[in-house]
Amino acid sequence: MKNNELSRRNFIQKTGKAGLGLGLSATVLPSAFSCSSAHAIAVNTPPTPYTQQPLPYNYKALEPSIDALTMEIHYTKHAATYTKNLAEATVAEGVNTGSMSLESLLANISKYSAKMRNNGGGHYNHELFWKVMGPKTNALPAEALMSAIQKSFGSFEAFTTQFSDAGKNRFGSGWAWLVLTSDKQLRIGSTPNQDNPLMNVSDLKGFPVLGLDVWEHAYYLKYQNKRPDYITSWWNVVNWKFVSDRYDAAMK
Ligand code: MN3
């Protein structure tokens, strides 16, 4: 599949419109060579759309952990810009967004430009970030995820400490992650910039179960330089129902 996709891209790049003169219809090519299978880690969660989805709560919903102005600017400016730039890159680089999932694109991101990498990651990461948060409920992970966390990290407290440290210690901008590896193990790590663990260029690889944005734009208005305080407060608004369901779906 990957070879076919690469061949198709090379073919189109080399022949351009001349290829169409050989009797190859533009409508036939995508279906014949579509890259619709998921990335290397098989998961049962629906593909992430290329468009920005509505925020699942209002801007004030995560206060006091995350203030309304930060949420509004983060969603309507930062995240919206990644989505817009991703759309530009997919057009410029001939990605058929109807047949290739964003997850597949990220799994093959080394074939594309830095603009695609930064904004494809930026869009995917933020779409996930909004969903892994919600109004404070005092909930904990559901049984299966909690059990896996305890088995992998010793205790829930040890897990949150290790995950928080991954966020605190990420130098500059980036993300902390809880991922499910291809052999179905939980692992904590971080990525720089807008990279994520689905990318074939990432040192940390796996299916992202939980992600935390540690870019300054995610917390600076309320917390200024105090990233650790932001992370401590962020745990209050983790939507464990969503995260647990996501874990369960990925384990199937
Ligand atoms: Mn952000």
Cα 230 versus chain centre, distance: 20
Residue 76 lies in a domain: yes
| Closest among 41, 37, 36 to 251, alpha carbons compared | 41
CA 229 / ligand 1 centre spacing (Å)? 17
Tally of domains in the chain: 1
Residue 117 within any structural domain of the chain: yes
Q: Note whether residue 152 is domain-resident.
A: yes
Strands 186-192 and 207-213: what pairing?
A: unpaired
For residue 5, report the distance from its CA to the centre of ligand 1, in Å: 31
- Looking at residue 138, its pLDDT comes to 86
Number of Cβ within 10 Å of residue 250's Cβ equals: 19
Query: Does 54 reside within a domain?
Result: no
Q: What is the pTM of this model?
A: 0.84
Identify the H or E element spanning 207: strand 207-213
CATH number, residue 80: 3.55.40.20
* Segments forming the whole domain that contains residue 120: 3-19+33-46+61-251
**Which residues fall within 8 angstroms of residue 225, CB to CB, at 6 or more apart?**
none
Say yes or no to pLDDT of 184 above 50.
yes
Residue 44 pLDDT level (bands cut at 50, 70, 90): confident
Q: What are phi and psi of 183, to 5 degrees?
A: -100, 25
CA of 180 to the centre of ligand 1 (A): 22
pLDDT in tens, 185-239: 999 999 999 999 999 999 999 999 999 999 999 999 999 999 999 999 999 999 9
| Residue 26 is assigned to a structural domain of this protein | no
Q: Report the share of the chain in percent with pLDDT over 70.
A: 83
pLDDT tens profile 138-179:
899 999 999 999 999 999 999 999 999 999 999 999 999 999
Distance 169 CA to ligand 1 centre (A): 17
Question: Cα(71) to centroid of ligand 1, in Å?
Answer: 10
